[in-house]
Amino acid sequence: MIPNGRHTAGASQLSALRIWAMGLLLLSAVAMSPTTAKAAPTQAAATTHVYLLRGVLNIFSLGLDTIGARLEAQGIPVTVANFVSWSSLADEAATAYKAGRLKTIVLVGHSSGATALPDMIAKLNRLGVPVKLAIGLDSVFKTKLTTGAERYINIYIGDGPGEPVKRADGFRGKLDNVDVRGTGVGHISIDKNEAIQRRVIAEIDAAIMRSRAPAPVAEPGAPRQARSAAATAPARN
């Protein structure tokens, strides 16, 4: 019986060793497996909201979804919607702003979504809500800014359907018209172009950085002088 007993004890030890080894392998696999954890968003990013307005039919502005996903990966909240929702989105943004949940508002639109941006800005301004940055991608109709975002960037194709944005009486803020003709982008592809997407995201990141600093207080009755920056086309891929 002793040999059998030794055999039984040895088998038990071998089984225990196998279980222990398997456990180590599992722990090693967990430790070595890559993770995709997001970096914690900064306070400025967390209190920013980017509204991305698609154009007609929701099928020609899918590059905005890509931009939105990249911003979310940075911890920046976004809403992607059709341009017809601009008024209800303005109400939503105003409610969040007045409740203190939102401090920095950024608007991005493509095609008809870009055309709707001035209306959304005007409504937010009437509700007492400032817009930090607005970026239009190839607005399809003549567009005028009667009230202002702190900065408005109109990226358009000069030999296509897009047009420069005009200043109307009473406009305040900074307006940049950027003509990207000759860069190989078209009206349907402008929102999907990698260089355009990088620029949009870089401008949003810069606006969030600016929002950390206290805004200068203008003297009552002293309108800000709007300046137009030189238009520079984004680099090709």
pLDDT for 224 equals 41
pLDDT for 213 equals 62
pLDDT for 161 equals 84
Q: What residues does 178 pair with on adjacent strands?
A: 155
Topology of domain 43-211, CATH = Rossmann fold (3.40.50)
Which position has the token pair 């991005």? 108
pLDDT for 18 equals 52
Residues 152/176, Cβ–Cβ less than 8 Å: yes
C-alpha span between 155 and 46 (Å, rounded): 27
13's tokens: 């030890």
C-alpha span between 24 and 44 (Å, rounded): 42
Q: Distance between alpha carbon 174 and the CA centroid of its chain, in Å?
A: 20
In the chain, domain spans: 43-211
Q: What is the 3-state secondary structure (H, E, C) of 145-195?
A: ECCCCCEEEEEECCCCCCCCEEECCCCCCEEEEEECCCCCCCCCCCCCCHH
Residue-wise pLDDT tens for the chain (237 aa)? 444 444 444 444 445 445 444 443 333 332 333 322 344 457 889 899 999 999 988 888 999 999 999 999 999 999 999 999 999 999 999 999 999 999 999 999 999 999 999 999 999 999 999 999 999 999 988 777 877 799 999 999 999 888 888 888 778 789 999 999 999 999 999 999 999 999 999 999 999 998 876 544 444 444 444 333 333 344 333
pLDDT for 125 equals 93
